[in-house]
Amino acid sequence: MRKLKVGVVGAGKIFEGSHAPAWMGNENVELAAICDVRREAAEDQAAKLGVGRVYTDYKQMLEREELDAVGVSTPNVFHSEVAIAALEHGVHVFCEKPDAVNPSEAIRMAEAAKLSGKLLMVMRNNRFTQQAQFLKRYIESGAMGEIYTGRTGWVRRRGIPGRGGWFTTKAMSGGGPLIDLGVHMIDVAMWMMGNPRPVAVSGATYTKFADAKVQISPDARFGTVQEGGIFDVEDLATGFIRFDNGATLQIEFSWASNAEDMKFMELRGTKAGCSLKNRELTLMTEIEDVLCDVTPRFGNDSIAAHRRNINHFIACVLGEEEPINSPESGVDMINILDAIYRSAATGAEVRLD
């Protein structure tokens, strides 16, 4: 079978650390071209990966290459622009999160995917961890009953990515840790809850560590620090989401705050609850009228979740699997994030229905 020809737009650290190993590790993929506005970055990655052609203009790449799919790993503001152009060229798209920087762009992406008939998938790698896959099966078995509330977050004590660069520049990123980290954990929590429709949100944002010098989180390696650059996004966001079925979700995301580093999700059901803290999953349940905590044990995962996500995308393009997420769910996600930012600005709850 002919390999799928993939072109990449964006050759920065996210591509190098997460996307490149996934594309190169899939036997059904031929990485045909790499594009980046910084020619030296494209050439560096092409040399490392053995890719023959580089571009600085993604439109030229789309015109000149006979591609089956495009991987988008640019700064956030360009996600929708590149994805829509690729879809209009009849090319499948896999895009780094977030889907877009505002709801109107997310809607345009979803509409372009529908019109093209091509697959648009945005990175949801946290659905592909061993713990998340096990928990989803456990919930779908009915073992947790009705999930009616939960809380989720990703707290870094000091882990601001690329301070002064595009990550901390709202015009480029769309926001701080809420849009950077929130898209991950809100998505996986809503997925576990059965994808209820959000109807109202409230939130608050803070910027207290723009000048912090100490960075201890390994995630601070993303982006490039620019001394004297822009920092006009939040470093902490909190919020509350109401859904159409009466369920609720509390959220908290920070790049920097005086709190324990933690990536977490807690869900409470009528039959059982769960707590996922970093990679440790605990089920709180009842056995023979006795309250019990059950801790599933997982072996070492030899395949990273990012790679599993891209493998899933390729399998969907080949017609071997059904997409685990849709452009429409991406619109819901960006609507939630946008509404939290609006609520933080006004101090009032924002209705989505």
Q: Which two tokens stand for residue 189?
A: 């929590």
Kindly give the confidence (pLDDT) of every residue in the chain, 353 residues in length, as a single tens digit, with 9 standing for 90 and above.
Answer: 689 999 999 999 999 999 999 999 999 999 999 999 999 999 999 999 999 999 999 999 999 999 999 999 999 999 999 999 999 999 999 999 999 999 999 999 999 999 999 999 999 999 999 999 999 999 999 999 999 999 999 999 999 998 999 999 999 999 999 999 999 999 999 999 999 999 999 999 999 999 887 887 787 778 788 888 999 999 999 999 999 999 999 999 999 999 999 999 999 999 999 999 999 999 999 999 999 999 999 988 878 999 999 999 999 999 999 999 999 999 999 999 999 999 999 999 999 98
| Residue 97 shares a structural domain with residue 187 | no
110, 328 contact by CB (below 8 A): yes
What are the structure tokens assigned to 216, written together?
Answer: 């201890």
Residue 90 lies in a domain: yes
pLDDT at 30: 97
Give the C-alpha separation, 307 to 186, whole Å. 21
Domain of 266 in residue numbering reads as 126-308+333-351
Per-residue pLDDT, 148: 98
Whether residues 145 and 278 share a domain: the answer is yes
Taking the C-alpha atoms of residue 283 and residue 200, their distance in angstroms, rounded to an integer, is 29
Asked if residue 139 and residue 237 are part of one domain, the reply reads: yes
Domain count, the chain: 2
Residue 345, C-beta contacts closer than 8 angstroms, at least 6 positions apart: none
H or E stretch including 245? none
User: Given this model, what pLDDT does residue 2 score?
Assistant: 86
Instruction: Give the CA dihedral 121, 126, 131, 133, nearest 10 degrees.
Output: -10
Judge whether 284 and 274 are in contact, CB under 8 Å.
yes
For residues 210 and 265, the answer to whether their CB atoms sit within 8 Å is no
User: Which pLDDT does position 71 carry in this prediction?
Assistant: 98
Query: If we measure between CA atoms, which residue out of 289, 293, 191, 177 comes closest to residue 243?
Result: 191
Indicate whether 300 and 241 sit together in one domain. Answer: yes
Please name the residues in contact with 159: beta carbons below 8 A apart, sequence gap of 6 or more.
215, 216, 217, 218, 219, 220, 255, 256, 261
Return d(Cα 59, Cα 37) in angstroms, integer. Answer: 12
Asked whether residue 314 is domain-assigned, the answer is no
The rounded distance, in Å, linking the Cα atoms of 282 and 267 is 11
Q: What is the CATH number of the domain that holds 218?
A: 3.30.360.10
| The two structure tokens encoding residue 129 | 């961890």
Do residue 253 and residue 154 come from a single domain? Answer: yes
Buried b / exposed e along 307-325 (16+ C-beta atoms within 10 A): bbbbbbbbebbeeeeeebb
Q: Which of 61, 87, 122 is the last residue of a domain?
A: 122
Does one domain contain both 95 and 141? no
In a domain, 323, yes or no: no
Distance of CA 319 to the CA centre of its chain: 23
Task: Kindly report the backbone phi and psi dihedral angles of residue 119, in degrees, each rounded to the nearest multiple of 5, phi listed first.
Answer: -80, 130
H helix runs in the chain, sequence order: 13-14, 20-25, 39-49, 58-64, 79-88, 103-116, 130-140, 170-173, 177, 183-192, 305-317, 327-346
Give 277's strand partners. Answer: 264, 280
The token duo for 305 is 């979740």
Angstrom distances, CA of residue 256 to CA of 12, 50, 143, 215, 277:
23, 38, 36, 9, 18
338 belongs to a structural domain: yes
Given this model, what pLDDT does residue 303 score? 84
**Does residue 130 belong to any structural domain of this protein?**
yes
Residue 71 lies in a domain: yes
> Do 166 and 240 share a domain, yes or no?
yes
| Domain end position, chosen among 95, 122, 149 | 122
* Strand ordering across the sheet containing 53-55: 53-55, 29-35, 4-9, 69-72, 92-95, 120-122
Question: Is the domain of 189 the same as that of 297?
Answer: yes
* 193 is a domain residue: yes
Q: Alpha-carbon Rg of the chain, whole angstroms? A: 20
- On whether both 161 and 214 belong to a single domain, the answer is yes
Same domain, 154 and 208: yes
Domain boundary at 58, 91, 122, which?
122
Q: Is the dihedral of CA 222, 212, 240, 251 positive or negative?
A: positive
Whether residue 179 is contained in a domain is answered as yes
**185 and 206: one domain?**
yes
pTM: 0.93
What distance in Å separates the CA atoms of residue 345 and residue 341, rounded to the nearest whole number? 6
Same domain for 107 and 207, yes or no, is no
